[in-house]
Amino acid sequence: MDILTLNCGSSSVKYQLYHWNSREVLANGIVERVTIGGSFINHYAKGKGRVKRERECPTHKEAVQLITETLLDPEIGALKDLTEIKAVGHRMVHGGEKFAKSIIINEEALNTFKELADLAPLHNPPNITGIEAAKKVLPDVPHCAVMDTAWHQTMPERAYIYGLPYEWYEKYGVRRYGFHGTSFLYVAKRTAVLLGKDPFETNLVLLHIGNGVSANAVKNGISIDTSMGLTPLEGLIMGTRAGDHDAAIGYYMIKKEGLKPEEVEKILNKKSGVLGISGRYTDRRDVLEAAEKGDKRCRLSIEVESYRLKKYIGAYHAAVGKIDAVTFTAGVGEMSPAIRAKALEGLESLGIIIDLKKNKLSHTRNAETDITGKGSRVRVFVIPTDEELVMTEDTYALLKGNYDIHTNFTYSFQSRDYQNKERAEALEEEIKKSPELKKILASIP
């Protein structure tokens, strides 16, 4: 059985084709620059390697069509016929309070997503467009929605209610929702495996650091607080988002610059964060390189981002109580030793110590690594996330009728014997080039 997952962003569509019976990825890739011109697809198929092809995709509909055509291509594809796809899983960024778990999409659910579009204006509209486009291309199979907000529905009121007029919550649903839930679910369960503990007896601080960045406090295996809020703007410094700031600044700049409210919203979401501070970059590799060459604003950007991460680690340590582990994930979390080191610097009083040599070696998306330092009371892990696998497993379980919320459901990756075949093969090649990587591989008790 083949399951296709689609993750439609504002200007991209990520996809993965997974063969359930053999538990392996048949193909994956991304269509980039959707809606903005110069579109192209980066595609991988098992046994056929990677290829890049250019084709304009003025909407997400054309992007989904390009994906299915590529999957059917006899030279680079992975399918003989679209009927081999038995279900499609879609990432839905914002499910509001209406959805506490993944669902099979019907018209009522799709209309609800449209009603929630204002809560995630950069994400829900392309998610919806992707669903509608995929339903036209694949009309005879179930389509499922996996909500980024669902993981955080366990937060208590004291964590999600804002100090605003309560009527705003009652009328418009103004509250903290949180995001990156699919990633946090995967990483929380894998961290429990590496600790050798029941997932519902683990206390964790999780850090998803990519272009979007959020922190998650996990107590007894469930989310009790998170840094993103009503929208993904709140919280940590991100690639282009401001994160926490004085809400009055928007009004101040409207008066000073004569800006319209929608212009301020665009600046806070797309021209702030690392880009706003550095003035040039969002990619942390570029920022770090420029900082090493003496760029003061890039150096400042790293300091500000790392300091904010450190504050949230401390705050969530206090919220959770005694924690078992701090786990880093996502592009920057997995691949940037410098930012991890700065974020954890000086936290010895909280029992958090990293081994700087191990941290420097941890620069891979193919292995779970342990960078805990000698004498640390808290374990420190780097775990490559796998949102696509969560989406695939939710979709399969919905198809079979045995799916439930994560507190009543067990994923394949919760097994101590679980292995991602694609990553395991890539890791073998990596170790040939960097044998020292073996020293930091996380072991399972």
pLDDT tens for 352-392 read: 999 999 999 999 999 999 999 999 999 999 999 999 999 99
Q: What residues does CATH 3.30.420.40 cover in the chain?
A: 2-147, 196-242+273-383+418-440
Alpha carbons within 13 angstroms on the beta-carbon side of residue 42 total 7
Reported in sequence order, the residue ranges of 69-173 that DSSP labels E, i.e. its strands, are 85-92, 103-104, 143-147
Under 8 Å between Cβ of 339 and 284: yes
Choosing from 148, 225, 324, 386, the catalytic residue is: 148
pTM: 0.93
Residue 70 above 90 pLDDT? yes
Residue 121 above 80 pLDDT? no
Using the structure block, give the residue that is written with the tokens 């894998």. Answer: 190
CA distances from 437 to 375, 381, 420 (A): 22, 14, 18
Give one word for 184, left, alpha or beta, with left for phi > 0 and alpha for psi -120 to 50. alpha
Q: Is 148 a catalytic residue?
A: yes
Kindly report the average pLDDT of the chain as a whole number: 93
At the second CATH level, the architecture of 196-242+273-383+418-440 is: 2-Layer Sandwich (3.30)
Looking at 15-94, list the stretches that DSSP marks H as alpha helix, in order from N- to C-terminal side: 60-72
CA distance 270 to 234: 13
pLDDT per residue as tens digits for the range 172-214 = 889 999 999 999 999 999 999 999 999 999 999 999 999 889 9
Q: Which amino acid is at 96?
A: G
DSSP state, residue 83: G
CA distance 217 to 231: 18
The mean pLDDT value for 428-442 works out to 93
Under 8 Å between Cβ of 368 and 190: yes
At the second CATH level, the architecture of 2-147 is: 2-Layer Sandwich (3.30)
